């Protein structure tokens, strides 16, 4: 919904008026409808900057920074259950002057306090100053859909925060350097190392962990406090009919809240189960909506057959978007410059093409099915972890046979076709179940980097894999790129499957209901089998939203090749001849493409952030 930034600290490092003005200019893409700031002084200096994308209550009365007699708020995101919270607050005699979720959040924070933040449903990053407590709360949503970065300087006694690392760099009087160690880990491990720690590609800039508050008092004492203690897997729902009924009922009720908007809504449509469920629900409750799909030239990623079935069944207003290879390199350069981050995958260039069109059609809200795979087990790798988790059970042979019959024939990645090899890899220090070791062949220089350390989320291998993808690997990378690119085009992206209630329900469901008959996401399929066409419910192949590098970037362009081969990281650490041969001999594997794309990202990132 917005961009936010701010400074809290001593006067000698406080940004001047011109710097603040320049920062607000940087923030305009995240909020083109209104930009403003407020500067106030208590024991220390405070600066709150906001750039608004109007979604709920379009009236200027809901512009930010939003202030009343009790506090000041700048807020990025949406509180989906704001209507329900507002009703409760009104019963307590609390009055409102707007119809916005921003005012509801401000009143909620004052009257309920930071200890009740877990009751909020939605996505957010915000900064709230309590006039009574002389205390500031920075907070980020449970699944990290909305970004929030910070720079703490203990020596000069200040904290700078923002929705984008570039805002922090602009407001800081101190020079902020890039982190070469983070870059090398990104090249070696792709996006899987990026969110395993709170560090960014800049030294001294960190992101606030999801589900966490950062609290600052007037003496600049800073503490971090988790407001969400995630539920643990505790299977109590063992009957499929009861579990599917609960899943279906919860999805329908929660999704309606996440569709709240005073502006038209766009939806991403693939041919999979997740977007089919979203399209079925949305087609009944919203009139001013439109669906968009990316049309891949690759047969491996073409879902148009199923998409056309959905269009006809639900009578959807829909449009296909094609890749623009000539434009993509220019846009990649712009995304990296605007976001201060490399792009996690070439797929998000395709996502950028979608957002560009959606923005030109005057839509401000975009809804996708991200998160469903990670909560309900949608990836081939999840299936292997499931088999690993039941290996000692009497029914393992039956389940393994079902997998061989119904899933294995569609798998292209060798590691996910071989259970014994997968089991061996799972015992490694940081198992990724992907071919990141293939990247090592490109390195000529060893480094003393510590390998990133993956967390353990559950004693059950299957549930642990789901949660690792949800909180560390897949979803953080997805939502980071989705937010950055959608906000580049002044669009708010929402992912309604990323719901605390859905996550908690999943943890009560017996894991054997998530995968049955060798078919992933079985409980979702079963829950909506009457609403979604049989051809999609029964589709066993996982296609997914992916745009191959060959479709998005012309690597034979000399300018692009030179960037990849001649930046200082490539020269220092990598075998340039091998990379050059790979590019020019047209023998890039899927893993090679991901690696080369990472190198291109880093080359552009370094060009924009010279030492």
For the segment 378-395, what is each residue's pLDDT rounded down to a tens digit? 999 999 999 999 999 999
pLDDT at 445: 64
- Selection from 240, 243, 265 nearest residue 255 by Cα: 265
pLDDT at 433: 54
Q: Using DSSP, state whether 499 is helix, strand or coil.
A: coil
Q: How confident is the model at residue 133 (pLDDT cuts 50, 70, 90)?
A: very high
pLDDT at 379: 93
Burial zone of 198 (CB within 10 Å; 0-12 exposed, 13-18 middle, 19+ buried): middle
pLDDT, tens digit (0-9, with 9 covering 90-100), for 80-119: 999 999 999 999 999 999 999 999 999 999 999 999 999 9
Q: How confident is the model at residue 439 (pLDDT cuts 50, 70, 90)?
A: confident
pLDDT at 435: 54
Asked if residue 192 has pLDDT above 90, the reply is no
Asked if residue 241 has pLDDT above 90, the reply is yes
Per cent of the chain over pLDDT 90 is: 77
Q: How confident is the model at residue 550 (pLDDT cuts 50, 70, 90)?
A: confident
Given CA atoms 170, 171, 176, 181 in this order, what sign does their dihedral have? negative
Length of the chain in residues, anyone? Answer: 611
Asked if residue 449 has pLDDT above 60, the reply is no
460's tokens: 């059950």
Alpha carbon distance 327, 40 (integer Å): 44
Name, in order, each residue with C-beta under 8 angstroms of 464's C-beta and a sequence gap of 6 or more: 385, 456, 457, 458
Asked if residue 453 has pLDDT above 80, the reply is no
Burial zone of 570 (CB within 10 Å; 0-12 exposed, 13-18 middle, 19+ buried): buried
Mean pLDDT on 179-206: 90
Tell me the DSSP string of 281-347: HHHHH-SSEEEEEEE-SSGGG--HHHHHHHHHHHT--EEEEE--HHHHHHHHHHHHHHHSS--S-TH
* Residue 410 phi, psi dihedral angles, 5° rounding: -95, -5
- Selection from 450, 495, 414 nearest residue 210 by Cα: 495
* Residue 587 phi, psi dihedral angles, 5° rounding: -120, 40
pLDDT at 280: 92
pLDDT at 217: 96
Alpha carbon distance 380, 387 (integer Å): 11
Q: Which single residue is written with the structure tokens 């000539």?
A: 326
Name, in order, each residue with C-beta under 8 angstroms of 504's C-beta and a sequence gap of 6 or more: 231
- The CB-side HSE value for 455 (13 A sphere, CA atoms) comes to 14
Q: Do 555 and 593 form a contact (C-beta atoms < 8 A)?
A: no
pLDDT at 555: 83
Asked which of 39-48, 521-530, 579-588 is least confident by mean pLDDT, the reply is: 579-588
Name, in order, each residue with C-beta under 8 angstroms of 446's C-beta and a sequence gap of 6 or more: none
Mean pLDDT on 304-333: 90
Q: How confident is the model at residue 126 (pLDDT cuts 50, 70, 90)?
A: very high
pLDDT, tens digit (0-9, with 9 covering 90-100), for 492-523: 999 999 999 999 999 999 999 999 999 999 99
Name, in order, each residue with C-beta under 8 angstroms of 25's C-beta and a sequence gap of 6 or more: 35
pLDDT at 429: 64
- Selection from 127, 129, 98, 606 nearest residue 342 by Cα: 606
Which residues does residue 23 pair with via DSSP β-bridges, in sequence order?
none
Q: 544 or 362, which is more confident?
A: 362
- The CB-side HSE value for 322 (13 A sphere, CA atoms) comes to 4
pLDDT at 451: 61
Asked if residue 47 has pLDDT above 90, the reply is yes
Mean pLDDT on 182-210: 91
Q: 267 or 541, which is more confident?
A: 267
Q: Do 466 and 388 form a contact (C-beta atoms < 8 A)?
A: no
- Selection from 398, 425, 145, 169 nearest residue 258 by Cα: 145
pLDDT, tens digit (0-9, with 9 covering 90-100), for 142-177: 999 999 999 999 999 999 999 999 999 999 999 999
Q: What is the pTM of this model?
A: 0.94
pLDDT at 450: 61
Asked which of 85-99, 205-219, 298-312, 337-351 is least confident by mean pLDDT, the reply is: 298-312
Which residues does residue 318 pair with via DSSP β-bridges, in sequence order?
291
Q: How confident is the model at residue 436 (pLDDT cuts 50, 70, 90)?
A: low
pLDDT at 610: 75
Mean pLDDT on 431-453: 66
Average pLDDT, the chain: 92
Q: How confident is the model at residue 585 (pLDDT cuts 50, 70, 90)?
A: confident
Name, in order, each residue with C-beta under 8 angstroms of 219's C-beta and a sequence gap of 6 or more: 43
pLDDT at 321: 92
| Separate counts of helices (H) and strands (E) for the chain | 24, 17
pLDDT at 437: 65
């Amino acid at each position: 919904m917005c961009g936010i930034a701010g400074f809290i600290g001593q006067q000698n490092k406080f940004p001047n008026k011109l710097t603040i003005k320049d920062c607000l200019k940087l923030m305009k893409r995240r909020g083109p409808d209104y930009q403003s700031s407020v500067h106030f002084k208590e024991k220390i200096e405070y600066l709150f900057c906001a750039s608004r994308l109007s979604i709920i209550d379009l009236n200027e009365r809901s512009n930010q920074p939003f202030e009343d007699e009790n506090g000041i708020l700048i807020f990025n995101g949406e509180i989906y259950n704001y209507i329900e919270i507002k009703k409760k607050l009104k019963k307590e005699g609390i009055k409102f002057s707007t119809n916005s979720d921003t005012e509801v959040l401000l009143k909620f924070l004052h009257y309920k306090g930071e200890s009740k933040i877990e009751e909020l449903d939605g996505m957010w990053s915000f900064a709230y100053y309590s006039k009574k407590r002389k205390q500031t709360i920075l907070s980020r949503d449970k699944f990290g859909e909305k970004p929030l970065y910070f720079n703490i300087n203990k020596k000069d006694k200040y904290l700078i925060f923002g929705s984008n690392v570039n805002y922090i760099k602009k407001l800081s009087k101190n020079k902020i350097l890039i982190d070469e160690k983070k870059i090398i880990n990104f090249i070696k491990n792709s996006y899987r190392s990026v969110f395993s720690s709170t560090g960014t590609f800049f030294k001294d800039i960190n992101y606030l962990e999801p589900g966490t508050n950062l609290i600052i008092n007037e003496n600049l004492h800073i503490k971090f406090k988790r407001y969400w203690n995630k539920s643990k897997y505790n299977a109590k729902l063992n009957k499929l009919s009861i579990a599917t009924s609960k899943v279906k009922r919860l999805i329908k009720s929660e999704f309606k809240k996440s569709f709240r908007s005073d502006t038209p809504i766009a939806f991403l449509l693939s041919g999979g189960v997740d977007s089919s469920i979203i399209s079925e629900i949305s087609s009944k409750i919203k009139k001013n909506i439109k669906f968009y799909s990316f049309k891949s030239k690759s047969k491996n990623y073409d879902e148009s057959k199923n998409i056309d079935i959905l269009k006809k069944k639900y009578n959807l207003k829909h449009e296909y978007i094609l890749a623009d290879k000539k434009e993509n390199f220019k846009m990649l350069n712009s995304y990296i410059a605007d976001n201060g981050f490399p792009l996690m995958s070439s797929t998000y260039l395709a996502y950028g093409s979608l957002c560009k069109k959606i923005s030109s059609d005057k839509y401000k809200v975009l809804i996708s099915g991200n998160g469903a795979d990670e909560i309900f087990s949608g990836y081939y790798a999840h299936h292997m972890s499931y088999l690993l988790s039941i290996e000692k059970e009497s029914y393992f042979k039956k389940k393994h046979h079902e997998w061989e019959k119904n899933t294995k024939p569609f798998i292209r990645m060798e590691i996910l076709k071989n259970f014994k090899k997968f089991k061996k890899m799972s015992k490694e220090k940081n198992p990724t179940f992907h071919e990141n070791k293939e990247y090592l062949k490109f390195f000529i220089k060893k480094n003393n980097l510590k390998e990133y350390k993956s967390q353990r989320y559950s004693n059950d291998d299957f549930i642990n894999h789901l949660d690792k993808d949800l909180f560390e690997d897949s979803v953080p990378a997805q939502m980071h790129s989705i937010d950055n690119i959608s906000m580049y085009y002044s669009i708010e992206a929402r992912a309604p499957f990323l719901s605390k209630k859905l996550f908690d329900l999943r943890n009560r469901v017996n894991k054997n209901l998530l995968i049955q008959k060798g078919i992933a996401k079985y409980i979702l399929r079963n829950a909506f089998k009457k609403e979604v066409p049989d051809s999609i419910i029964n589709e066993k192949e996982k296609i997914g939203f992916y745009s191959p590098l060959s479709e998005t970037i012309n690597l034979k362009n000399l300018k692009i090749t030179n960037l990849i081969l001649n930046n200082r990281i490539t020269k220092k650490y990598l075998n340039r001849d091998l990379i050059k041969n790979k590019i020019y001999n047209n023998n890039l594997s899927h893993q090679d493409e991901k690696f080369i794309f990472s190198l291109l990202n880093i080359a552009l990132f370094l060009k924009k952030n010279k030492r």
